[in-house]
Amino acid sequence: MNILFEIKESIAKSINKNTNKSLISAVDIMYPPNTNMGDLSLPCFNVAKMLGIQPHEATLKIKEILTHKKNKYISTIQIAGPYLNIVINQATLAKEVLNAVTKKTNKYGQNKAEKKERIMLEYSNANTHKDYHIGHLRNVCFGDSAYRILKANGHKAIPVSYINDFGIHVAKTLWCLNEYYKKEIPDNNKGEFLGKVYTESAKKIEETPTAKNIVSLMMKKIESRTGEEYELWQKTRTWSIDQFNKVYKELGVKFDHIFYESEFIEKGIKEVKKLKEDGILSESDGAIIANLEKYDLGVLVIMRTDKTALYPVADIPLAIYKLTKFKLDKSIYIVDIRQGLYFKQLFKLLELMGHKQDLVHLGYDFVKLPSGMMSSRSGNIISYTELKKELINAARKEIIKRHERWNSSKIEKTAKTLAIASMKFEMLKVDSNQIITFNINTALKFEGFTAGYIQYTYARINSIINKYKLEISENEDMQAVKKLNYAKLEESKENEIILKLAKYSEEVARAGERYSPNIIAKYLFELSQLSNDYYHRISILKSDNEAKIARISLIIAINQVIKNGLDLLGIEVLDEM
């Protein structure tokens, strides 16, 4: 339920009914740039034009209508040039918002889609035989949050992953493994071990003149699905998949389906042959290509001259399978911005094949370290495991400083939760088109635009709520709810917070329209700022009884919304910090 939209709609209906004209709609009523100007603002330029009068006359007319036709939501109306600034009745809004949060709890802020769509989101497209690093982390966090946000907006969102387990990088890794590292295979963490072998393979291949030919031959043998090379591929592939599953479990990420490139290669080769017969693809110097120059999309190479497959060979049949099998309205690919041209080419090919569904490439920019850009080949990366370990160590030290009496189990659990929260928040707090410079030291701070600050706000509010519960019995608590006096929430800071809570569902809708988790992150930070300022200025537990009950209800609502918002980011709350 969008409370503010209902208020805007009631104002619009009142104006339209009393002028017998469709002058305004709810979306015409905006928020003023400064809260001192009011809670809502109605520009009267279009109203004046439709009535054939001057804007100042229109504001007088609309103010007169709203003043005489009493609206329970309106407290005061002020004219500011061609604008009407409206202050909402604070007690009425508080009642509506707090009742809605109490009733909806975890579902507060969720929206119903005007047109419910079946949307598949494909993300965490990692490569087997490579390490899982913080670049992958941005992808999986972005994808998981976008899925949660679309679901919260009433769509049938289907999260899937597509693993590249059959590319030339596999042959490079296995060649290097056979030549240099087959006697060094560890008993545990074999997926991470393979990633290190891949990094070494780039150096070793450059040092070995015959390596490129051997790697190419090995790739052909793997694609033939026979022989020792294929058996080694099967064996080592599971090492990477086990590693990915471990990461997903730790991050709390779940997929409805996981597709693998190897499942679609053979179908793709048959599809390529058909597309060539249909004239959509052609041969050029032994390679098979899609000439898309007349669409200003250049040339896309489908198969190399040695007839080994490139990405489109599997991507084409997978795309067709997804669109038809799942009857999708929209298929979203979450892949970094470097692949922008490739997806335009792929989507054009699918269009030429007769597929008209909405295809979206949701790109995101790089993650880099303070020392510079990362590269799997050069080894200049921080693996997911290394990053997690460093963050947990740093979080543990901070927690021990604050809670010397906590037992080790509680410290470890809290440190891990905070570390995962910090990883995710740093990946989601900025717009997808911005580069992230991941700095471990700033990620774990308990102040500023960080997960720690929002988690601390939640935990601090939770401690106030728990102290209140110790003061009263369960029966007294029930009586308190019955005599809740919303008029006691009369402080300006309380009004700001209530209005902010009321705006939550609008922010969820905006985040869904733009596929932007950073909108939710920014909202939670601003709500946390308001809340911190509030409980530092107002002594909630020392208020008179009626005010105390109302204020406890308010901070319970704050924490519910923080929890709901963090859940959209895939982040677990901490009750204590």
pLDDT in tens, 146-167: 999 999 999 999 999 999 998 8
Among 198-212, 250-264, 501-515, the minimum mean pLDDT is found in 198-212
Within-domain flag for 377: no
pLDDT digit string, tens, across residues 391-405 = 999 999 999 999 989
* CB of 546 closer than 8 Å to CB of 573: no
Q: Are residues 305 and 271 in the same domain?
A: yes
CA 201 to centroid of chain Cα atoms: 34
Nearest to 5 by CA among 550, 547, 503: 503
Domain that includes residue 13, residue range: 3-88
Domain termination residue (choose one: 368, 402, 432): 368
Q: Are residues 130 and 70 in the same domain?
A: no
Residue 71's domain is classified under what CATH number? 3.30.1360.70
Q: Are residues 308 and 176 in the same domain?
A: yes
Q: What is the per-residue pLDDT for 87?
A: 95
Please say if the pLDDT value at position 479 is more than 70.
no
- Tell me how far apart the alpha carbons of residues 24 and 43 are, in angstroms, rounded to a whole number: 10
- Tell me how far apart the alpha carbons of residues 33 and 30 are, in angstroms, rounded to a whole number: 9
Q: Are residues 213 and 260 in the same domain?
A: yes
- Tell me how far apart the alpha carbons of residues 573 and 409 are, in angstroms, rounded to a whole number: 17
Q: What percent of the chain has pLDDT over 90?
A: 86
Q: What is the pTM of this model?
A: 0.93
Q: Are residues 299 and 411 in the same domain?
A: no
Q: What is the per-residue pLDDT for 477?
A: 55
Q: What is the per-residue pLDDT for 351?
A: 96
Helix (H) or strand (E) holding 342: helix 340-352
- Tell me how far apart the alpha carbons of residues 174 and 129 are, in angstroms, rounded to a whole number: 8
380 pLDDT band, cuts 50/70/90, is low
Q: What is the per-residue pLDDT for 379?
A: 52
Q: Are residues 34 and 79 in the same domain?
A: yes
Q: How many structural domains is the chain composed of?
A: 3
Among the residues of 188-331, which ranges form H helices?
190-207, 211-224, 227-251, 265-277, 311-325
Q: Are residues 344 and 402 in the same domain?
A: no
Please say if the pLDDT value at position 189 is more than 70.
yes
Q: Are residues 79 and 128 in the same domain?
A: no
Within-domain flag for 359: yes
Please say if the pLDDT value at position 478 is more than 50.
no
499 pLDDT band, cuts 50/70/90, is very high
Residue 563's domain is classified under what CATH number? 1.10.730.10
- If one counts every other C-beta atom within 10 angstroms of the C-beta of residue 165, the result is 23
Within-domain flag for 294: yes
Q: Are residues 59 and 151 in the same domain?
A: no
Domain termination residue (choose one: 342, 368, 394): 368
Residue 223's domain is classified under what CATH number? 3.40.50.620
Q: What percent of the chain has pLDDT over 70?
A: 96
Domain termination residue (choose one: 343, 368, 393): 368
pLDDT digit string, tens, across residues 334-377 = 999 999 999 999 999 999 999 999 999 999 998 887 765 545 44
Within-domain flag for 114: no
Q: Are residues 178 and 46 in the same domain?
A: no
Within-domain flag for 433: yes
Within-domain flag for 242: yes
Within-domain flag for 391: yes
Nearest to 560 by CA among 164, 110, 163: 110
Question: Phi and psi at residue 567, in whole multiples of 5°?
Answer: -60, -35
Within-domain flag for 79: yes
Q: Are residues 364 and 455 in the same domain?
A: no
- For residue 303, give the 3-state DSSP assignment: strand
Beta-sheet pairing, 156-163 with 74-80? unpaired
482 pLDDT band, cuts 50/70/90, is low
Q: Output helix, strand, coil percentages for the chain, rounded to the nearest 5.
A: 60, 10, 25
Please say if the pLDDT value at position 226 is more than 60.
yes
Nearest to 335 by CA among 148, 569, 125: 125
Q: How far apart are the two ends of the chain, measured CA to CA in Å?
A: 32
Q: What is the per-residue pLDDT for 470?
A: 85
Q: Is 139 exposed, middle or buried (0-12, 13-18, 19+ CB in 10 A)?
A: buried
Q: Are residues 362 and 389 in the same domain?
A: no
Of 440 and 335, the structure prediction assigns the larger pLDDT to: 335
Tell me what the pLDDT averaged over the chain comes to: 93
Mean pLDDT confidence for 302-318: 92
pLDDT digit string, tens, across residues 277-309 = 999 999 999 999 999 999 999 999 999 998 888
Please say if the pLDDT value at position 48 is more than 80.
yes
